């Protein structure tokens, strides 16, 4: 039985990826520090679900804790690493930059060192669409320059790409980066716009609409994103050449204007939002639009979930979650 080490396994994407791999028969070693960036009880809920699988073990520790990483790596024979732990959020990086440097850069360095020392030959990791910055091209291709990030979060993700590339070339690790576009769905992150909008609409509080609603996001439903991760994983594990480095976009390839997104949430909830139109925020880009040609070249990836269907699934879960929490 092959074993996958997943950092950030209590996070939104990490949970779903771990669950999918467990259902495919892999053993999963989960690793997460359960920080308080958002409600820890939601993170514990995800881990409790994963612990129902007999092939899942969990370590509560930080990726900057070398002793914790060594303990996990010494206890299990790890075949693959999927590194999804990160300090998320563009806005938070403006007020707490040190957390992003420590977790996203130093933490990734520790994961790379773990792979080098334990001769783990396959590392997949999460990057972000934010690395593209304010690209002039409409569609964001993986071969575009990514040397002008507009947020510290984006800068740390670009740094990760450079670090992984260097370790692949110097130490023969096979690395695969995944530039995630805006992910949404049940058991998601409370700091994300769709969750915040639902909270405020239901509480009859105004929502802030930045850039006067004139921005677009390539919203990607969580199940579709996980299909992309698993498709890349199946492709990646078959690579025989040492020191390979590849990077792919995982997005819907179908950007939605912010105002359309808000109108869809209003339709799903059945209540109109009170809107406050605001200027563009520091660190925001106007448009993300994933070119998914490259991922479709190596695996049968395509998105199946329309934005309204995805938001309906989120809202159905959200109502049940808040009912239990009441």
Tokens of 213: 């609603």
Q: 223: burial class by Cβ within 10 Å (0-12, 13-18, 19+)? A: middle
Q: Count of residues for the chain?
A: 326
Q: For the residues of 155-211, what is the DSSP string, one character each?
A: HHHHHHHHHHHHHHHHH--EEEEEEE--EE-TT--TTSHHHHHHHHHHTT--EEEGG
**Strand (E) positions, 10-150?**
27-32, 56-60, 80-83, 122-128
Question: Which residues have a catalytic role annotated?
Answer: 153
Q: Label residues 4-17 b or e (16+ Cβ within 10 Å = b).
A: bbbbbbbbbbbbbb
């Amino acid at each position: 039985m092959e074993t996958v080490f997943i950092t950030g396994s209590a996070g939104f994407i990490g949970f779903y990826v771990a669950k999918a791999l467990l259902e495919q028969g892999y053993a999963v070693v989960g690793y997460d520090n359960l920080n308080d960036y958002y409600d820890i009880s939601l993170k514990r809920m995800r881990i409790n679900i994963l612990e129902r699988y007999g092939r899942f073990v969990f370590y509560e520790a930080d990726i900057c804790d070398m002793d914790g990483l060594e303990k996990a790596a010494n206890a299990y024979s790890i075949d693959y690493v999927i590194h999804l732990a990160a300090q998320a959020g563009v806005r938070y990086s403006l007020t707490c930059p040190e957390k992003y440097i420590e977790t996203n850069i130093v933490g990734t360095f520790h994961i790379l060192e773990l792979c080098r020392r334990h001769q783990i030959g396959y590392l997949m990791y999460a990057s972000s669409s934010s690395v593209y910055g304010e690209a002039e091209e409409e569609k964001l291709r993986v071969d575009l320059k990514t040397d002008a990030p507009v947020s510290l979060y984006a800068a740390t993700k670009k740094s990760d790409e450079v670090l992984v590339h260097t370790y692949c070339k110097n130490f023969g690790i096979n690395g695969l980066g995944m530039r995630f576009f805006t992910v949404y769905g049940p058991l998601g992150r409370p700091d994300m716009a769709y969750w915040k909008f639902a909270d405020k609409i239901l509480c009859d509080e105004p929502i802030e609409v930045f850039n006067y609603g004139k921005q677009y996001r390539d919203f990607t439903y969580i199940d579709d994103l996980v299909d992309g991760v698993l498709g890349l994983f199946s492709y990646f594990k078959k690579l025989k050449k040492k020191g390979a480095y590849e990077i792919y976009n995982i997005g819907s390839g179908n950007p939605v204007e912010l105002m359309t997104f808000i109108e869809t949430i209003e339709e799903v909830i059945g209540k109109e939002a009170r809107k406050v139109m605001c200027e563009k925020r520091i660190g925001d880009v106007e448009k993300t639009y994933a070119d998914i040609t490259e991922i479709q070249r190596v695996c049968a990836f395509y998105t199946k979930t329309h934005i309204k269907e995805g938001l309906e699934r989120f809202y159905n879960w959200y109502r049940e979650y808040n009912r239990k929490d009441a």
